Amino acid sequence: MIARHWRGWTEPQDADAYETLLKDTVLPGLRGIEGYRGGYIFRRDEPEEVEFVVVNFFISLESVRRFAGSDYNIPVFEPEAKKLLRRVESVAMHYEVRANTVQRFIMVRPGGGSEERL
């Protein structure tokens, strides 16, 4: 299993729109790629900018290439994402997953929003 890690930052006023784009368009769109196994979105709000860390899982580097192309270390962006991102990491990092202790859990959104099973 390969974990693909990438970071990008938005202006605070663009953070919710970028998060929605990731959750509703980008990650669901990856489900059609053979070998894609899901992903996580992490968010850290700071006064000047909001950091996003995206980790996607693929069964092999060949699966990563299906998504990102032969130069798979270069991040892939939706056109809408380019408009929302303030700055980006220029390289996507890839790691071999050596252990997994994640269990299913229920996430409660800040502000009392709906629950979501992960």
Q: Are 33 and 67 spatial neighbours (Cβ–Cβ below 8 Å)?
A: yes
Look at residue 108 in the predicted model and tell me its pLDDT. Answer: 63
b or e along 81-108 (b: 16 or more beta carbons within 10 Å of the residue's beta carbon)? beebbeebeeebebeeeeeeeeeeeeee
Look at residue 113 in the predicted model and tell me its pLDDT. Answer: 55
Q: Which amino acid does the sequence have at 62?
A: E
Question: What pTM was computed for the model?
Answer: 0.84
Q: Does domain 2-117 have CATH number 3.30.70.100?
A: yes
Model confidence pLDDT, tens digit, residues 8-24: 999 999 999 999 999 99
Residue 68 CB: number of other CB atoms within 10 A? Answer: 20
Model confidence pLDDT, tens digit, residues 38-69: 999 999 999 999 999 999 999 999 999 999 99
Model confidence pLDDT, tens digit, residues 74-117: 998 888 999 999 999 999 999 999 998 887 666 666 665 545 45
Look at residue 64 in the predicted model and tell me its pLDDT. Answer: 96
78: Cα separation from own chain's centroid: 12
Look at residue 61 in the predicted model and tell me its pLDDT. Answer: 95
Look at residue 103 in the predicted model and tell me its pLDDT. Answer: 74
User: Per-domain residue ranges for the chain?
Assistant: 2-117
Q: Are 90 and 76 spatial neighbours (Cβ–Cβ below 8 Å)?
A: no
The CA-CA-CA angle for residues 42, 47, 49, to 5°, reads 55
